[in-house]
Each structure stands twice: as structure tokens, then as C-alpha cells.
Amino acid sequence: MEKIRVTKSNPCPICGKPDFCVVYPEERQVLCMRVQSSNPLKSSKLGGGWFHSLDSTVEIKRPAKTKTARIPLQHMPRLAESYRLKVNEDALRIYAKSKGVSVDSYKRMEIGFDGKCWAFPMRNGNDVIVGIRLESPSGDRFCVKGSHNGLFWPQDVSALTDGLLMVCEGYSDCAALLDMGFDAVGRSQCNAGPDDIIQLLSKCRREVIVVSDHDSPKTRPDGSVWLPGQEGAYQLAKQIKRHTRRISLFLPPTAKDVRQWVREGCNRDLFLAVHRNQAKFL
């Protein structure tokens, strides 16, 4: 089945965004990761999403063919290590400062550099690298060809502990939580990661806080309103609840996401104090 991944020049015809969604031209369908429909993707391993049918008036653009090779899954750990060894310390300090997080936290996430883009390995629930997310100098995000979705899983974050575990969306939010002294893992997108997180928690039930982005309301084609980050966090919490000791949902009260909240002055004590008063326990 032919599939076309959306890009900045060829965005999703449903949500208008340039990433994550997939067009199936032969079936004239779109797998949109943000706008819900009555036809959800059944397999959570593929990261979720909802199918939408396209009418005959919508033009489907096929990208020009490239010669980028698909990396075999078993080669991802070695590729990630080669990227890690290319990191320039001065450039990393500038990059981390621009994001408002520490160099140490990015290093714990084994940040790499492919010669043009910053690279973040993604791991499955057994702590094996299965993909690499890249960020270009312009801020575009995409994956090494052949990558599977996984978790941004920092060094020393172990399932064999009774401590609190934070689950957020993205590598920079994960780094911000690490900077506050929390154990944290980041999901690659708002609908991804339940199976990997369940596997992470399989040896020890931990208290989990699912931290969502503070999204602006989005409008579906039918006129209804939804909040992708919050709704994705709620779905994840329901899926992993029975594998935790206690689980709650938390939304930064004054910022778009937890990284922005840290830049505004949030620290560990403030986070926990606000969480006690505002978190939603399932």
C-alpha cells in the first residue's frame, strides 16, 4: 500500500500540519494524528491516529523520489552512537541554551548530530534504540528513514524503582523535567507510546504523572473542538493506569508546555505544589 508522509510543502489535508500524518493515495485516505474521526487506527504500535476519506476534488501530491536509504532496525543503535560522537560541545551549549534546558539533560538523552541536524534516539519498552528523531537548524522535525516510534528515554531512568515517573511529549519537555530532578520519559507524539511505557513499568509499579501540552483549541471538519495534547494524555493515562501505583494528569497552568513553564521560573517544589492542587487523578 503506497503511503505519502506529509511535509511542510505538502501538509496534511485534514489538520494542515507538516508532520506525523500519512496520506494513502490509492485508497484516497489520510491517517491524521490530530483530528479524530469515527475510524480510528486499531494498532497502537503505529502511533494511533484516525482515518479520513478524501473526496475527488482534493489533489494528492507525490514528493519527488529520493535516494535516502532505509536504515535497518538493528543498525539504529550503532547509527545513534555515531551521531553522539559527532556532537560539538560549544554548539551543544548554544543549542541547549536556545531551548532553555541544560546540556547535562540533553547528554543524558544521548543527543547526537548527523552533520546537519540534532539527533535524539528513541527506545522501545526494553530500552533498545529503534529510531532517531532529527531536528534541523530551522526547527523542522523528522525521523531517520526506517525509524520506529519510541520513547525519548534518558540514561539512568529505570523501571526498577518506586520513585515518581513523569511522562511527557517530546525530548525538550523531557529534558526540562530532568532539569528539575524528576525521572522522565518523552513520547514521540501525543498519541504514541502506551505499549512501550507499559513495558517500562512491567517490573515495578510506579506513581506516574502524565504531563500534557497546553494546546490551543483545534476545530474538526465537523465543527467540533478538540485539544490534541490533553486528549492524547488522557487516552494514555487510561491505557497505562492498571500498570501504575497511582496516575494523574497534569497541565502546566501558565505556559504552553512544561519546558516553557521552566523558562518562566518553575522549579521542582513549585511543580509539586501546583500538582497537589490541580492534578486530575484517575
Task: Give me the mean pLDDT over the 61-73 stretch.
Answer: 75
Q: How many residues does the chain have?
A: 282
Q: pTM of the full predicted structure?
A: 0.76
pLDDT tens track for 119-138: 999 999 888 999 999 999 98
Over residues 71-114, the pLDDT tens digits come to 888 999 999 999 999 999 999 999 999 999 999 999 999 999 99
Confidence of residue 48 (pLDDT cuts 50, 70, 90): confident
Q: What percentage of the chain has pLDDT greater than the value 90?
A: 57
In a domain, 64, yes or no: no
Residue 182 domain-assigned (yes or no):
yes
**Using CA atoms, how far apart are residues 153 and 124, in angstroms rounded to an integer?**
9
- Clarify whether residues 37 and 83 are in a common domain: no
For residues 158 and 163, which has the higher predicted lDDT (pLDDT)? 163
In the chain, the number of structural domains is 2
pLDDT attached to residue 46: 54
In a shared domain, residues 126 and 189:
yes
| 60 belongs to a structural domain | no
DSSP states of 73-121 as a string? GGGHHHHHHHHHTT--HHHHHHHHHHHTS-HHHHHHTT-EE-SSSEEEE
> Residues 14-39: pLDDT tens digits?
988 888 889 998 889 999 988 888 88
Q: Is the pLDDT of residue 276 over 60?
A: yes
Whether 148 and 17 map to the same domain: the answer is no
Res. 65: pLDDT tops 70: no
Residues 230 and 97 in one domain: yes
DSSP letter at 40 equals B
CATH number at residue 223: 3.40.1360.10
The whole-angstrom separation of Cα 171 and Cα 95 is 13
169 plus 276 within the same structural domain: yes
pLDDT tier at 231, thresholds 50, 70, 90: confident
Taking 90 as the threshold, does the pLDDT of residue 221 lie above it?
Answer: no
Which of 74-78, 103-107, 198-202, 237-241 has the weakest average pLDDT? 198-202
Range of the domain at 5: 1-54
DSSP 45: G
Q: Are residues 158 and 25 in the same domain?
A: no
